[in-house]
Structure 1
Amino acid sequence: MTTAEYLNYDAIGLAQLVRQGDVTPRELLNTALAIAEKVNPRINAIIHPLYEEGYKMVEELPAEAPLRGVPFLLKDLALEWAGTPMRSGNKAYYKYVSSVDSYYVERCRAAGLVFFGKTNTPEFGLNPFTEPTAFGPSHNPWNLDYSTGGSSGGSAAAVAAGIVPAATASDGGGSIRIPASCCGLFGLKPTRGRVSLGPHVGEAWGGAVVSGSVTRTVRDSALLLDLLSGYAPGDPYVIQAPERPYLQEVDAAPEKLRIGFSTQHPLSWHKVDADCVRAVEKAARLLMSLGHEVEEVSIPFNPEMFLEAFLPVFVGETSAALRHLSKWLGRPIQKGDVEMNTWLIAKLGEVYTAADYAHAQYRWNELSRTMATFHQQYDLLLTPVMARPPIRIGELQNNAQENMMLKLLQTTGGYSFLKGSKVVEQVAERTFSYIPYTTLANMTGQPSMSIPMHWTQNNLPIGVMFTGRMGEESLMFRLAAQLEQAQPWAHQRPNLM
């Protein structure tokens, strides 16, 4: 199979070729590896090449698997693949080798997918950009000077570059939707509890984290969710299964929907970039042309409460992640084990109290009730994914003055001053002003998706985000497929070959 032929197919299409005998799984893997060897040195998407393991999988594929032989990549965060490294973007985990498969990985095996590497991620998935000190930045295939987003930035870069048609992704504050938007892909964050995080984890980040995928086509994402979802022993949530497979929804036209849209920045003193506004307005016009009722609404939540509710959980969970690392290392964590910002976020987590964490969870519940009320009137909320197009690599890193102040805090151990510190607030606000929309669905547990809708004049993709009612992925797949048919995007590709 030639590179050009390979790039013409999504995962379902490649699997069909295998079933028909037009191509073998080994030939598919050979082609994927050839593309990886050509483009990965430029985009730094795959940080653990595991080619021999991929060839072993080719020899052991289940005969009737729905995606038999399709090349695939795993994000190097929280996904255990027995016998292979998992670094979580951190240098201290350099000796860690998984002893079991995650349930997610087990289901990928059963689906017939062929893994041949693990993809780059920021340290512990903490940032909306993929620039870990341990492995270096991933580069956006559309423009190598720009960010892939995060934390599933390596996976998104690999799919956008054509190495694989789909890859794993996970989302605790936007980490599926942000890279999908930055790289011109489709990415759906499932409802909380839809996909098991087991066997080692029941829930993560207070229920904010979910696993999913980034894909070129809507139907690939639908089939993957069919194959990956479902209860596993020990899961803390049991949610209603869909009435029929998600893949069937792709061929079903959605009913007339009522959609509220907003381009208002949740932090009123910030502005949303004109290209991001254009993307939402373009989506709104397209939706109306398809017969849906669309109207502009105000952001249906209190921005101050929003910030107050997410930060204690974010810093507390980071602190817990370092305790977990300490337990694995068998010694106390040292400053050099993690990036400076990670260290300080964890120390801030120790300053916040258990009462702060519990109070934040109360606010999450309030937000869930607020959104449930919104969805009594509207089927979906449409917003930008991000307030700006993809940023340049390094743009959200600390500036020199911030580094100096934070290093001083790290050296003196004045961690009690972190809470309410101007420099901490400055760094946090800069990040949140870039991604003010995505964490909503993580706190409430709702499904939320990014759809590529616009490209800037310098050819950078911009997604729009739809957030729906709990458990209504079926409706979202119907709408996504309708938009994909009306304004196709999978044929648009960065010029890396």
Structure 2
Amino acid sequence: MARFKEYDQYDALGLADLVRSGQVSASELLEESIARTEKVNPAINAVIRPMYEHARLQAKQPKEGPFMGVPFLLKDLIASYAGVEMTNGSRFYRGFVPAEDSEYVKRFKRAGLNIFGKTNTPEFGITPSTEPEFTGPCRNPWDTLRSPGGSSGGSAAAVAAGIVPMASASDGGGSIRIPASCCGLFGMKPTRGRVPSGPDLPDGWFGFIAEHVVSRSVRDSAHMLDALQGNYPGQVMRIAPPTKSYASALDKKPKKLKIAYSVDPLLGEQLHQDCKAGVLETVKLLESMGHTCVEVRPPVAREDFIYAYSVLVCSEMAATLAEGERLLGRAGKSSDFETRTWALMKLGRSFHGGDVAQAVWFMNMFTRQWLSFFEPYDALLTSTLGELPIAVGGLRPTPRETLELKALSYLPIGGIAKQKDFVIKSGKRLYNYCSQTMPANVTGQPAMSVPLHWNDNNIPVGMMFTGRFGEEEVLFNLAAQLEQAKPWADRRAPLYAV
């Protein structure tokens, strides 16, 4: 079938304009996306569930919308697509087929997107590296020995490899921003409650999770958030809608901003020199654009935060197991899950209600302190990650850790693993890696990773801007300025489908 060779000269909105005007058909775009998937996916393992025939039928009569007829990929986690298997990266969910679309997916369809596949994700999205045992590791098109990040690693790898201009993503601890940073893309985590997540599943991770996309262009992200945002009947977390469209923020006259910046490792023990260099380089760029930058040290009690966050996520994993058992009608066993996942579920069961309540209280107090610190500033600049994109396998448990996790799995109530020192020690590598992203999930603030820096080895190093609660338009306006001042759209990963 006919294909559109000039596909990657356009972002998603540009492709939709071509379809709407009749210059290109939705079928031509889809066949180009499929051909690119077949070419590069064997090397990166980003698309784990093709939906080609279904998408071909949809392409014959594309739906009107801002992204009319544009090929799109859906992360295989949380987002239910009626009639298509959703495994959440886990053997336990093999064969599970949702009966209805989640609200998130309904809005993608209403925007005119043509979903033709589902992307790789770590088991239940619990790690910042996409390496599920069930579907195999995903690799970074910028360096296939490195991870594309997680948990939206499959989506980010597909965009970076030129398969699609934009793909779905979700973020409970950095899972939009981390892959965006690793893959040289733009990734916005919206304000808590901005994009609805129901109605088929509960709001996850105590409200930490936000859903949106990763993209090459800022304007695709802004227009997509316009299409995704807004309350619906039965939604638990409701916030005021924006006064104007996010798309309009891109053309708004820039306002002089007061931007705090930090090269503090925050939840980690040290910040990689390339990450620090990226922040300082970005400060110079911001100042040249007329913004005021002030160095700060954000307030966070590192070990207390790590412990509280771990208590909540492990408790959530215990609930995930219980909900999966209810939904699937069968008991879960250790062989259904990865060793680390099963251990976290067991650990989650070991915490009692008082442990969870204390963790919630700590996070509420942290949020108040953090937002008070934030009050004088329009945004906070840090690196997105504490390190460069990690090697594939770099966060896997060591042989000794694997033995410890297996031992934990056999303890009736988690035993000594409840102790704070054990939890902090076990998570040390993970929190060194994604040392900057988690506070915004706890506070609910919007935050974006912007591809502003590449190191001497051509590895992307994202810069993260956290904004005030509910003020995505300020971040989008800033991102549009940065995109114009230091364009990234023409940068191509070494592994790129052409």
Q: What letter is aligned with 1:453?
A: L
Question: What's the offset of the Cα at 1:193?
Answer: 0.3
**Counterpart for residue 102 of structure 1:** 102
Q: What is the percentage of aligned positions where both structures have the same residue? A: 47
Q: What letter is aligned with 2:468?
A: R
**Counterpart for residue 140 of structure 2:** 140
Task: Give per-residue Cα distances to partners, 1:261-298, cap 9 Å, x unaligned.
Answer: 00111257x21100000111111110000000001101
Question: What's the offset of the Cα at 1:422?
Answer: 6.2
CA–CA separation in structure 2 for the residues paired with 1:288 and 1:488: 17
**Counterpart for residue 406 of structure 1:** 405
Q: What letter is aligned with 1:333?
A: G
Name the SS for the 1:418 alignment partner: helix
CA–CA separation in structure 2 for the residues paired with 1:328 and 1:2: 41
**Counterpart for residue 12 of structure 2:** 11
4+ residue runs over 6 A deviation: none
Question: What's the offset of the Cα at 1:430?
Answer: 1.2
**Counterpart for residue 329 of structure 1:** 328
Distance 1:376 1:446, change over 3 A: same
Does the CA contact (< 8 Å) of 2:143 and 2:494 recur in 1? Answer: no
**Counterpart for residue 429 of structure 1:** 428
**Counterpart for residue 379 of structure 2:** 380
Does the CA contact (< 8 Å) of 2:218 and 2:479 recur in 1? Answer: yes
Q: What letter is aligned with 1:39?
A: V
**Counterpart for residue 276 of structure 2:** 277
Does the CA contact (< 8 Å) of 1:185 and 1:216 recur in 2? Answer: yes
Distance 1:377 1:127, change over 3 A: same
CA–CA separation in structure 1 for the residues paired with 2:301 and 2:420: 23
Does the CA contact (< 8 Å) of 1:449 and 1:466 recur in 2? Answer: yes
CA–CA separation in structure 1 for the residues paired with 2:400 and 2:168: 37
Give the gaps of 5 or more residues in structure 2: none
CA–CA separation in structure 2 for the residues paired with 1:367 and 1:143: 37
- State the number of aligned residues: 495
CA–CA separation in structure 2 for the residues paired with 1:160 and 1:289: 29
Question: What's the offset of the Cα at 1:424?
Answer: 4.9
CA–CA separation in structure 2 for the residues paired with 1:437 and 1:253: 30
Question: What's the offset of the Cα at 1:364?
Answer: 1.8
CA–CA separation in structure 2 for the residues paired with 1:265 and 1:6: 40
**Counterpart for residue 254 of structure 1:** 254
Name the SS for the 2:6 alignment partner: helix
How do 1:27-426 residues align onto structure 2 when only pairs under 5 Å count? 27-62=28-63, 64-267=64-267, 270-411=269-410, 415-420=414-419, 424-426=423-425
CA–CA separation in structure 2 for the residues paired with 1:130 and 1:416: 29
Question: What's the offset of the Cα at 1:201?
Answer: 3.0
Does the CA contact (< 8 Å) of 2:170 and 2:213 recur in 1? Answer: yes
Does the CA contact (< 8 Å) of 2:147 and 2:182 recur in 1? Answer: yes
Q: Which deviates further from its counterpart, 295-304 or 438-447?
A: 295-304
Does the CA contact (< 8 Å) of 1:383 and 1:464 recur in 2? Answer: yes
Give the gaps of 5 or more residues in structure 1: none
CA–CA separation in structure 2 for the residues paired with 1:341 and 1:420: 17
Task: Give per-residue Cα distances to partners, 1:87-143, cap 9 Å, x unaligned.
Answer: 000012111011101111111111110000000000000000000000011000111
**Counterpart for residue 443 of structure 1:** 442
Does the CA contact (< 8 Å) of 1:85 and 1:95 recur in 2? Answer: yes
Q: What letter is aligned with 1:375?
A: F
Question: What's the offset of the Cα at 1:4?
Answer: 4.8
Does the CA contact (< 8 Å) of 1:282 and 1:453 recur in 2? Answer: no
CA–CA separation in structure 2 for the residues paired with 1:318 and 1:360: 15
Task: Give per-residue Cα distances to partners, 1:225-257, cap 9 Å, x unaligned.
Answer: 000110011111221111111011111232110
Does the CA contact (< 8 Å) of 1:202 and 1:236 recur in 2? Answer: no
**Counterpart for residue 483 of structure 2:** 484
CA–CA separation in structure 2 for the residues paired with 1:15 and 1:156: 21
Task: Give per-residue Cα distances to partners, 1:302-345, cap 9 Å, x unaligned.
Answer: 22332232111110001100111222332321110111101110
Distance 1:297 1:472, change over 3 A: same
CA–CA separation in structure 1 for the residues paired with 2:185 and 2:472: 17
Does the CA contact (< 8 Å) of 1:188 and 1:212 recur in 2? Answer: yes
Does the CA contact (< 8 Å) of 1:128 and 1:175 recur in 2? Answer: yes
Q: What letter is aligned with 1:368?
A: T
CA–CA separation in structure 1 for the residues paired with 2:289 and 2:43: 40
Name the SS for the 1:40 alignment partner: helix
Does the CA contact (< 8 Å) of 1:214 and 1:221 recur in 2? Answer: yes
Q: What letter is aligned with 2:11?
A: D
Task: Give per-residue Cα distances to partners, 1:9-52, cap 9 Å, x unaligned.
Answer: 10011011112211000000010000000001111000001101
Q: What letter is aligned with 1:195?
A: V
Task: Give per-residue Cα distances to partners, 1:186-242, cap 9 Å, x unaligned.
Answer: 000000000000111342111101101000000000000000110011111221111
Task: Give per-residue Cα distances to partners, 1:145-167, cap 9 Å, x unaligned.
Answer: 10010000000000111101000
Does the CA contact (< 8 Å) of 2:75 and 2:155 recur in 1? Answer: yes
Distance 1:164 1:291, change over 3 A: same
CA–CA separation in structure 2 for the residues paired with 1:238 and 1:277: 37
CA–CA separation in structure 2 for the residues paired with 1:409 and 1:366: 31
- TM-score normalized by the length of structure 2: 0.97
CA–CA separation in structure 1 for the residues paired with 2:297 and 2:418: 31
Does the CA contact (< 8 Å) of 1:379 and 1:468 recur in 2? Answer: yes
Name the SS for the 1:366 alignment partner: helix
Name the SS for the 2:427 alignment partner: helix
Q: What letter is aligned with 2:158?
A: A
Name the SS for the 2:367 alignment partner: helix
Question: What's the offset of the Cα at 1:80?
Answer: 0.7
Name the SS for the 1:80 alignment partner: coil
Distance 1:370 1:4, change over 3 A: farther
CA–CA separation in structure 1 for the residues paired with 2:405 and 2:198: 36
Question: What's the offset of the Cα at 1:401?
Answer: 1.5
Does the CA contact (< 8 Å) of 1:35 and 1:163 recur in 2? Answer: yes
Does the CA contact (< 8 Å) of 2:4 and 2:28 recur in 1? Answer: no
Distance 1:17 1:60, change over 3 A: closer
Does the CA contact (< 8 Å) of 2:261 and 2:380 recur in 1? Answer: yes
- TM-score normalized by the length of structure 1: 0.97
CA–CA separation in structure 1 for the residues paired with 2:178 and 2:44: 17
Q: What letter is aligned with 1:266?
A: L
Name the SS for the 2:118 alignment partner: strand
The alignment yields a C-alpha RMSD, in angstroms, of 1.5
Does the CA contact (< 8 Å) of 1:253 and 1:482 recur in 2? Answer: no
CA–CA separation in structure 2 for the residues paired with 1:154 and 1:293: 37
Q: Which deviates further from its counterpart, 456-465 or 144-153?
A: 456-465
Q: What letter is aligned with 2:24?
A: V
Q: What letter is aligned with 2:480?
A: A
CA–CA separation in structure 2 for the residues paired with 1:375 and 1:340: 39
Name the SS for the 1:88 alignment partner: coil
Q: Which deviates further from its counterpart, 83-92 or 320-329?
A: 320-329
